[in-house]
Amino acid sequence: MSTSESSPRAARVLFNSTMIISALGVFAAIYFWFDDVKEAIYIASFTLVGLIGIVSFLRHSVFYRSDQARMGWYQDRPEFQIEVGFYNLAVGVVAIVVVALDLGLVASAVCLLIYGTYLSSATVLHSVEFARKNSENRNPAKMINSAFFSLILISFAVLAMMEAGAL
């Protein structure tokens, strides 16, 4: 593996991009909530699932060596990491299609709920990992980030279902 392949730089840029997109998506969705609920949900679906899914695919699958360097772990067989990226791509593309084809609040809610459930599961994994580490290696950032983002996704999903009359 060459030095450029194992540099965490590309993955850091992509990860930071997901943080920026998330913040902008949440802000825009809340802002539009008071004027046009459907537009707000579509913004949440497009940014928080669609764009984040595609950027996460790039980080996990295309720049997987850089992502390994960013996280501080390496594996000779990165197929599972690449597969996680494919999941992110699939859910991201579906969310963009839902918005582009105006498939409605329930379809958007399902995209938000699916991604929120996935990230809630990641939160459990990060929590177990956090509990197992010794005190000098503990960093709750992954656990907190996953928990916060999954809560936002599930909240928007519930609000969308309520608005659509599905709850």
Q: Mean pLDDT across the stretch 135-153?
A: 85
pTM above 0.75, yes or no: yes
- Indicate if the pLDDT at residue 1 is higher than 70: no
Cα–Cα distance measured from residue 147 to residue 35, given in angstroms and rounded to the nearest whole number = 28
Among candidate residues 111, 102, 121, 120, the one with its CA nearest the CA of residue 51: 111
Q: Which ranges of 36-104 does DSSP label H, i.e. alpha helix?
A: 37-44, 52-57, 64-71, 79-100
Residue for token digits 């459930």?
117
Contact 155, 164 (CB under 8 A): no
